[in-house]
Chains A and B, each alone.
Chain A
């Protein structure tokens, strides 16, 4: 007993003395350690941004400091961790000035292969980022060099810098998302724009007349002549010929080509229509590309009736296991959300962002309509022509355009009718929308083409003229439950629509149903707008009507 007490006492005493000593030394060293830590952080931050006071910002998506000198904002420092060869990734610190130009890059930590991946810490590699900023590609072979034997690690650092620039650009409001530039919306005039090429800025003058791009002239540049020459020869001509800005780049001169394109975009940027809204897009197939985790991602997206119905990745270089799954997940999210504003797939942020960028690029261009890929059915479309609205109907069967019929137009018949006939003949023979306009009636021909594009860009619709006479019943889900209606067709004309039963709120639904029936009978068109205030009931009613008539056609 006595021995046990002694043990407890001695051990307790030792522990107490030890604790006291530790507390004492801690009280002495803790403030020094704290101060040292703060100084070191300041020094590290100052190594990437010329400022003497840094302030950590709260609630930012990435760790971000504001850097001040004499109370004046000098720029920002972003800390990012990017995935790389080693699972832990690379921890980077990027300093940017208030314009979003890189001032310094520091590798905070990494666990890359010694002797290979750790070359990312070398001075020459990190210094080449200085001066790059918003509008620069920050990509291997474009404006920075990679490292032999450490491609993946070097690419990861490039991604980190690129994302830091983008983050600061968005954070500080420096990036205006370049929206869709619709040439037709640009007032006549000559506009000047600037963007960085491979070596230096490229300045262009862009002239627009009658909503058409008539010339692109490079007025200032400093590129290597042997590389840039073909770009200046080909790209402006291609832009004028194709009436679009995103023309194919000249291979081997990516930097200059992209610079020229960006300069033209910059010139017309003030007329951009802002964010891409999928429901505003014309139907068709869009193709675009962007940089993914490692190299180009090429995508095709199909829009039908303002709905994104399919996204296909045609080409990519990203890690097969990671990139592939990420693309699938992203596409699912995009199709569900019907907007480009979806979250990136975690663990594959670069692939995800690359896909989104490629889609944005796609939607900025014009859609392509591939008749061979169209669903069978009858398509209706309308477009502005010489004298007014032109309406037409096109029938597709077995991937072939089998007929085009102009339903209504207000153009001068003596010019327009022969032109329409000729155009339709050409279209049916060519099985593509890429046919020559009829000279002497170009505007009418263009109107026909536009209407056909609109038609084929929408979903196939029911052709009322094929519905035999009779009374048909249709059902569909509506606001409160199932809705059933009867429609009577006589001499190819809808004469009466009666709701047999429904479970919607009568006060709202009944007037809406009456209004809809009246409109449909008047216009002989079953694709009419919903009645505001009773949207869901209207949709149910319209679906039931379509279902009834569709049965009539197939029976």
Chain B
């Protein structure tokens, strides 16, 4: 790269923001959910997160640099982010060999088969989850409940009974769901931790509010209409739909992915709305337990189209007749 001229449109400003700095700050934003996940689900969760992240980083180093030097493994941090996000959207009881396969599918098929960072159409972590979800549906829908404080004080890894996730029919109070004390994927249960990460990312200017708002908003509207038609309309039903499954996590960490979401501001809003609508339709009407994955993957494919139709008007341009 360095021996070539880089030609790009103006303005040519060299800022402190680089791919590397952004990626490592996203890792910081993911810290609260990771910690919450480990606290809630124990050693199993830690192992899944570490395995996913390390596998992704090693594979990225092998693909890009064909060696395993520390600098290659650390890279630009994008593999670490994808790997960590992937770990966070898997059930804590996922067998580690499945996690390795998932990370490999995400990095190799989801990312580098399309040409690497910046060229991948689909979110690598979601490609990986879709793949393992379809391959081992039983393992991917076996959840276990969160640990209680006493589990922690007695021993770290405990045999936990499997239990239903909220979308699988378990009954939970809204407060439990807000704190994340429900069965679910490692990083997806605690709304509180997700919001902490979201605040950090927004304050640091790494994510645009439009896509998350469009996503959560459209999901809320669909939930409202559905519950109204079902004759049991209540604000708690809507809050429940928003906090169940991976919707909030996706809103903050997945549909804001810079590579696989639209560039334009209007486009991001539309993208978010589309993701929300498809997610809810899948959740409510299709025979799949969760719609977040396919909802976002489907809209990922629409991104070039959205970008094309939402190009902002050039300053001073007049509408041609």
A residues at B contact (CB < 8 Å): 85-86, 112-117, 148-149, 151, 320-321, 324-325, 328
Given A85-B287, A115-B138, A116-B138, 5 extra CB contacts under 8 A: A86-B287, A113-B137, A116-B141, A151-B169, A324-B232
B residues at A contact (CB < 8 Å): 134, 136-138, 141-142, 162, 169, 226, 229-232, 287-288
In the bound complex, CA of A427 to CA of B136 (Å): 65
CB-CB nearest 7 A-B residue pairs: A321-B230, A115-B137, A85-B287, A86-B287, A116-B137, A149-B138, A320-B230
Least Cβ distance of B294 to chain A in Å? 13
Whether A148 lies near B142 (C-beta < 8 A) is yes
Partner of A321, one of B137, B169, B226: B226
Whether B142 lies near A321 (C-beta < 8 A) is no
Whether B287 lies near A113 (C-beta < 8 A) is yes
Chain A interface mostly helix, strand, loop or mixed? loop
In the bound complex, CA of A116 to CA of B141 (Å): 9
Closest A-chain residue to B232, C-beta based? A320
Q: What are 16 A-to-B residue pairs whose CB atoms are below 8 Å?
A: A112-B287, A113-B288, A114-B137, A115-B134, A115-B137, A116-B137, A148-B138, A148-B142, A149-B137, A149-B141, A321-B226, A321-B229, A321-B230, A321-B231, A325-B231, A328-B231
Inter-chain contacts of A117 with B (CB < 8 A): 287
Least Cβ distance of A460 to chain B in Å? 33
Inter-chain contacts of B229 with A (CB < 8 A): 321
Least Cβ distance of A159 to chain B in Å? 17
Inter-chain contacts of A149 with B (CB < 8 A): 137-138, 141-142
Closest A-chain residue to B164, C-beta based? A151
In the bound complex, CA of A325 to CA of B230 (Å): 8
Chain B interface mostly helix, strand, loop or mixed? loop
In the bound complex, CA of A123 to CA of B117 (Å): 48
Least Cβ distance of A105 to chain B in Å? 22
Inter-chain contacts of B137 with A (CB < 8 A): 113-116, 149
Inter-chain contacts of A321 with B (CB < 8 A): 226, 229-231
Closest B-chain residue to A317, C-beta based? B169
Inter-chain contacts of A112 with B (CB < 8 A): 287
Least Cβ distance of A480 to chain B in Å? 44
Least Cβ distance of B172 to chain A in Å? 16
In the bound complex, CA of A85 to CA of B284 (Å): 11
Inter-chain contacts of B232 with A (CB < 8 A): 320, 324
Least Cβ distance of A317 to chain B in Å? 9
In the bound complex, CA of A320 to CA of B134 (Å): 28
Inter-chain contacts of B226 with A (CB < 8 A): 321
In the bound complex, CA of A148 to CA of B134 (Å): 17
Inter-chain contacts of B134 with A (CB < 8 A): 115
Inter-chain contacts of A325 with B (CB < 8 A): 230-231
In the bound complex, CA of A114 to CA of B142 (Å): 16
In the bound complex, CA of A115 to CA of B232 (Å): 33
Whether B287 lies near A324 (C-beta < 8 A) is no
Inter-chain contacts of A320 with B (CB < 8 A): 230-232
Of the listed residues B134, B137, B141, B231, the one surrounded by the most CB atoms of chain A closer than 10 A to its CB is: B137
In the bound complex, CA of A527 to CA of B266 (Å): 75
Least Cβ distance of B141 to chain A in Å? 5
Inter-chain contacts of A324 with B (CB < 8 A): 230-232
Of the listed residues B134, B136, B138, the one surrounded by the most CB atoms of chain A closer than 10 A to its CB is: B138
Closest A-chain residue to B285, C-beta based? A87
In the bound complex, CA of A467 to CA of B134 (Å): 79
In the bound complex, CA of A114 to CA of B226 (Å): 27
Least Cβ distance of A316 to chain B in Å? 12
In the bound complex, CA of A325 to CA of B231 (Å): 8
Inter-chain contacts of B142 with A (CB < 8 A): 148-149
Inter-chain contacts of A116 with B (CB < 8 A): 137-138, 141
Least Cβ distance of B38 to chain A in Å? 25
Closest B-chain residue to A323, C-beta based? B230
Whether B231 lies near A148 (C-beta < 8 A) is no
Of the listed residues A85, A86, A149, A320, the one surrounded by the most CB atoms of chain B closer than 10 A to its CB is: A149
Inter-chain contacts of B287 with A (CB < 8 A): 85-86, 112-113, 117
In the bound complex, CA of A324 to CA of B142 (Å): 29
Least Cβ distance of B142 to chain A in Å? 7
Least Cβ distance of A51 to chain B in Å? 35
In the bound complex, CA of A328 to CA of B137 (Å): 37
Closest A-chain residue to B169, C-beta based? A151
Given A115-B138, A320-B230 in contact, is the A148-B162 Cβ separation under 8 Å? yes
Closest B-chain residue to A319, C-beta based? B230
In the bound complex, CA of A117 to CA of B287 (Å): 9
Least Cβ distance of B264 to chain A in Å? 37
Closest A-chain residue to B162, C-beta based? A148
In the bound complex, CA of A151 to CA of B138 (Å): 12
Closest A-chain residue to B231, C-beta based? A324
In the bound complex, CA of A321 to CA of B162 (Å): 28
In the bound complex, CA of A426 to CA of B58 (Å): 83
Least Cβ distance of B144 to chain A in Å? 12
In the bound complex, CA of A86 to CA of B137 (Å): 16
In the bound complex, CA of A321 to CA of B229 (Å): 7
In the bound complex, CA of A328 to CA of B232 (Å): 13
Inter-chain contacts of B138 with A (CB < 8 A): 115-116, 148-149
Inter-chain contacts of A148 with B (CB < 8 A): 138, 142, 162
Least Cβ distance of B195 to chain A in Å? 28
